[in-house]
Amino acid sequence: MQLPNKLYSYENSTLALIPKVLKELQDGSKAVKDLYDDVKQSLDDPTDFLSVMDCLYALRVVDINEEGEVYKCL
């Protein structure tokens, strides 16, 4: 996870990607692959997506159901 500091600006940090992922989930649940495809243009590296999803899951903002779809818990 890249947090804003001297080396990484906010725009290049994991925190900046959180609102983009949540915006994609606004209309309902999505398959993980579809969610990744929707936000990949904002990513520098595919591991950034994993960092964002780990962060959101740890904060209990998103969860995944039995069908493999990510949904907002809020």
29-38: per-residue pLDDT in tens?
A: 999 999 999 9
Confidence of residue 8 (pLDDT cuts 50, 70, 90): confident
Give all domains of the chain, ordered by start, each with its CATH number: 10-72 (1.10.10)
| pLDDT confidence of residue 7 | 87
Structure token pair of residue 37: 């495809």
Q: Give, in degrees to the nearest 5, the angle at Cα 12 between 51 and 73.
A: 40
Q: Which helix (H) or strand (E) holds 70?
A: strand 69-72
Q: Taking the complete model, does pTM exceed 0.85, yes or no?
A: yes
How far is it, in rounded angstroms, from Cα 16 to Cα 8?
11
